[in-house]
Amino acid sequence: MKPICFLAFMLITFSAYTQTWGPPTLDVEEYNFHLEIDGTSDMIHGLATVTIHFNHDADRFRLDLIAMDASGKGMRVDSVQLDSLSIPYSQQDSSLWINNSVQEGSTHRFAIYYHGIPNDGLYIGRNKFGDRTVFADNWPNRAQNWIPCVDHPADKAYVRWEIIAPPYIEVVANGKLLETVNLDQNHRMTVYASKAPLPTKVMAIGAAPFAIQQVGEIDGIPITSWVYPENREAGYFDYGMALPILDYFIGQLGPYPFAKLANVQSTTRFGGMENASNIFYFENSVTGKGRIQRLLAHEIAHQWFGNSASEADWPHIWLSEGFATYCTDLYTEHAMGRDSLVHYLQKERQAVIAFNQKKSIPVIQEGVTNYFQLLNANSYQKGAWVLHMLRRKLGDQAFWTGIREYYHHFALSNATTPDFQAVMEEVSGEDLENFFQEWLYTAGHPKLEYDWKYKSKVLTLNLKQSQKEGHFHFPLELLFRFKDGTSGFYTIEVTEDKQSFQWAFEQEVTGVVLDPETWLLAEFFPD
C-alpha cells in the first residue's frame, strides 16, 4: 500500500477496529461471497458461505461483521443456515455470534444471508467522471463492514466471488476469472476464484465501466490494465509499465504467487492498494506521463510480501511495507542505476529523521489500536533502511539467499519478525540479535557528532553518539581525501557512545566523508 500522504492519515479518523489476536477457536478455510450490486442503490444483498474448521469445542463462535446502526448503515443478517437448517445467531456492534455447538477438529459450512449499506470498506459512489462505481478498500480490517469474516491477516482463506451487476459494468476480483453468465437483460454474474489463500485485507472486488487492455503475459501470468474509458490512452500507457516490473521481481524473488496481475484505476483512498492479483490505484494516478513506475513497483512487490508472505499480526507490518519499499528501491537501482537508488535512499532517510523528531518509537510497536497509525515512516522507509543495512552487513549473496528462503518458507502463509530473523541467521551463519534489537525494537537511530584533524602524519577521528535512545553498534564506512588528489575507503566498527580512531598517513588528509556510499541510517553533525 502506498499512502498518498502520511500526514493525511494522522489527521483523519478511520474506522479501524481494535483486535486482540490469540490462539483462534476457528480457522476459516474458504469464503464464497455471492453479492448483488444494484445500478442505482447503495444497498447490497449477500450470501456468504463460510467453511470453518474448529480448533476447540465451543457452544458458540463469532465472526466479524459490522451491524446495521440507527442511520441504516451497516449489515443486517437475515438468516444463518447449517445443512439448509436455520440456526440461532445474534449481532452486536462488530460481532456476529453464531449459536451452534461445534466440536474440536470438525469442519462446517455456514450460509449467512444478509443485506445493508456499507459504512466503510466497500465504496459505492461515482468516479471523477460521474460514472457509478463499486470498489472494495479493506485495509487494515474494514472488510467486516460488508462481508462476514475473520478480519485479521493471520486467518487466510480461499475466496470465490460471484458478483451480480448490470451488464454495462465490468467486474474485477481476486483470482482467476471463471465465467460470466448473462442472467437476464439487466443482470450479469461474474465469477472469480483464488486458489491461493488470502488475508481479508487484500480481498477485493471492483465494478465500473472499464476499458480493459491485455498488456502481455509473463510465465503464463496475464497482465491487464483496467481504466476508466475516458482515460483509456493515458491509462494504458501508465499501467503498461507493469510488465518489466513484474518480470524483474519474478527474476529476483521467484514465481508470481497469483493467477493474474490486473492494475486497476479506482476510487481507493490510498495512492495504491495491493489487493491480491488486482491492484487498485487512485484515480489521478493516470496522467499519461509515465511517472508511476515506483508506485507500480511498490504494489507489485506486495504480491510477494504482504499478500503471499503476510505479517502474522499488525506490529510486524514492516514485513509488508518495509519490504515493498525496499523492493521498489531495488527495482529503481535495476532500471535507473545506483545514483537513483542513492537519491531515494537519502529521501527515505530524511523521512525517517523527520518522523523521529515528531515521535520517537520503534518499528515494532505493540499495543497500537488504530492500525492506520502504523502507516508511518517507521513501517515504510525505516523498514526499507533496515533491509538495506542488512544487505550491507551480510553481503549481496547471503542477503538475497536469505530473502528468497524467507519468502519460499512463508509463501501463502504468515510470518513474524523473529521468523525473518531466524531465516537470515540460518542462511548467513551470523548472530543478528543485536542488529534486530537495535534497529527494529529500539526507537531512534544514530546521531553522530564528529571532528577530525591531521597532525604529525596522524589522522584522528572522534565520534560521539548523541541520540537519547541509547547507543547503536554498526560498521561505518569512511572516505579519506588526500592532498595529492587520491582517496581511499576505510571501515570502522562503532560500538560505544564515544570513540576515537587513528591512522598514520604520509600524505596529508584534506577531507573526511562519513558514509560516502549511503549504507547507514544516521544523522551526521560535523564539529
CA distance 398 to 390: 10
DSSP notation for 142-179: -GGGTS-B--STTS-EEEEEEEEE-TT-EEEESSEEEE
Cell reading at 410: 512463508
* Cα separation values, 244 from 212, 239, 241, 271, 275, Å: 19, 11, 6, 21, 20
Q: Is the pLDDT of residue 212 over 90?
A: yes
- What's 343's DSSP letter? H
**Greatest CA span in the chain, whole angstroms?**
93
Cell reading at 161: 466471488
ω into 140 cis (within 30 of 0): yes
| CATH top-level class of 447-526 | mainly beta
For the chain, what is the mean pLDDT?
96
95, containing H or E segment: strand 95-98
- The reply to whether 6-301 and 447-526 are identical in fold is yes
Query: pLDDT digit string (tens) for 435-460?
Result: 999 999 999 999 999 999 999 999 99
Measured in degrees and rounded to the nearest 5, phi and psi for residue 522 equal -160, 165
* Cα separation values, 32 from 50, 95, 149, 168, 436, Å: 6, 20, 11, 24, 40
CA distance 347 to 351: 6
pLDDT of residue 39: 86
How confident is residue 4, by pLDDT bands cut at 50, 70 and 90? low
- For residue 246, the number of C-alpha atoms closer than 13 Å in the C-beta half-sphere is 26
pLDDT of residue 14: 37
Q: Is the pLDDT of residue 175 over 50?
A: yes
Of the chain, the end-to-end C-alpha distance in Å amounts to: 40
CA distance 121 to 142: 5
- Helix then strand then coil, in percent of the chain rounded to 5, is 30, 35, 35
Question: What's the CATH code, domain 309-440?
Answer: 1.10.390.10
- Is the pLDDT higher at 93 or at 6? 93
Measured in degrees and rounded to the nearest 5, phi and psi for residue 249 equal -70, -35
Phi-psi region of 406 (alpha: psi -120 to 50; beta: other; left: phi over 0): alpha
Cell reading at 6: 502520511
CA distance 115 to 118: 9
Query: pLDDT digit string (tens) for 377-413?
Result: 999 999 999 999 999 999 999 999 999 999 999 999 9
CA distance 245 to 294: 9
Q: What CATH topology corresponds to 6-301? A: Immunoglobulin-like (2.60.40)
* Cα separation values, 480 from 465, 477, 484, Å: 21, 10, 12
The size of the chain, in residues, is 527
CA distance 113 to 210: 30
pLDDT cut 70: percent of the chain above it: 96
User: Over the Cα atoms of the chain, what is R_g?
Assistant: 26
* 221 contacts 196 by C-beta, under 8 angstroms: no
Q: Where do the structural domains in the chain lie, given as residue ranges?
A: 6-301, 309-440, 447-526
* 260 contacts 176 by C-beta, under 8 angstroms: yes
Find the mean pLDDT for residues 252-261. Answer: 99
* Cα separation values, 493 from 432, 477, 499, 517, 527, Å: 15, 9, 10, 16, 21
Number of neighbours of residue 216 by Cβ within 10 angstroms = 15
CA distance 208 to 166: 10
* 74 contacts 145 by C-beta, under 8 angstroms: yes
246: nearest Cα among 282, 284, 220, 273 = 220
Helix (H, G, I), strand (E, B) or coil at 245: helix
pLDDT of residue 13: 37
Find the mean pLDDT for residues 155-163. Answer: 99
* Cα separation values, 297 from 209, 322, 405, 496, Å: 26, 13, 21, 39
How confident is residue 463, by pLDDT bands cut at 50, 70 and 90? very high
pLDDT cut 90: percent of the chain above it: 94
Helix (H, G, I), strand (E, B) or coil at 125: strand
pLDDT of residue 3: 77
Q: Is the pLDDT of residue 16 over 50?
A: no
Q: Is the pLDDT of residue 313 over 80?
A: yes
Query: pLDDT digit string (tens) for 341-386?
Result: 999 999 999 999 999 999 999 999 999 999 999 999 999 999 999 9
Query: pLDDT digit string (tens) for 257-284?
Result: 999 999 999 999 999 999 999 999 999 9
Find the mean pLDDT for residues 229-254. Answer: 99
